Amino acid sequence: MVDNLLLAFGLTLMAGLATGIGSVLAFFTKTTNTKFLSLALGFSAGVMIYVSMVEIFVKAQDALVGAMGDKLGNWATVGGFFGGMLLIALIDKLIPKRENPHEIKKVEDMNSPDNAVKDPALLKMGTFAALAIAIHNFPEGIATFTSALQDPALGIAIAVAIAIHNIPEGIAVSVPIYFATGSKKKAFKLSFLSGLSEPVGAIVAYLFLMPFLNDIMFGVIFAGVAGIMVFISLDELLPAAKKYDEAHLSIYGLIGGMAVMALSLLLFI
């Protein structure tokens, strides 16, 4: 149990701090590797969609049907699934579009003379951009932690998928913060720290959900996690991948992500 806890916290921390990789790419490369980002985002979406619908939803359903009976259990599973979607949709709705870290940016934007704004008065806006991603990543931390705690192999797959999608988020957060402050160091620091909301989500899950964790609680959480990850894939990852897309790479990445996830699940049977 202790080993699983350490693994779950470690995976969540790794996934969250991947925003720092995006910051590094933004500051130390001249051009955006759109082929890589399109393929990687599609791959991440494929992993999330497949594992959510084939593995996580089914485990939630099994737990809830076993605890509540066939009819109530199935209704609770579907309710938890769409409840997770509603939660992440509300978070997106509360983040103004301009500061939303999922608005696509490129490294080229960083080096554009027209964007070299160094106005200290914009620091508040830059800080809000970091806060926006922190709020958005919080439920992802809960998803990674609870998944890893229940099934370490599943947790690893989810953590990798979330880490991949946090890389372009790091770019998207660092660029506007740099515009606001004129400081690459501050942009990197705030973007990097914003990823800490994911391990914070894990700590909250451990402190407030673990004491009440029974089959019903587990089933509802897992159904909600499935809904959150499907929503993230359809609302963020695939549209972002298509914006970076070249020659249908995002779809190839999607299929590849599903295939890798399917193979890994078969190997653990």
- Residues at the binding site for Fe(2+) are 137, 140, 166, 169, 198
Angle formed by the axes of helices 152-181 and 2-16, nearest 10°: 30
Binding residues, as ranges, are 137, 140, 165-166, 169, 198
In angstroms, the CA 202 to CA 224 distance is 15
Binding residues for Zn(2+), as ranges, are 140, 165, 169
Evaluate whether 178 touches 190 at the Cβ level (below 8 Å): no
Tokens of 248: 């249908």
What type of residue sits at position 171?
Answer: I
Q: Can you give the C-alpha Rg of the chain in angstroms?
A: 19
| Direct distance between the N- and C-terminal alpha carbons of the chain, in angstroms, rounded to an integer | 21
DSSP character string of 185-223:
HHHHHHHHHHTTHHHHHHHHIIIIIGGG-SHHHHHHHHH
In angstroms, the CA 134 to CA 214 distance is 29
What type of residue sits at position 85?
Answer: M
Evaluate whether 54 touches 220 at the Cβ level (below 8 Å): no
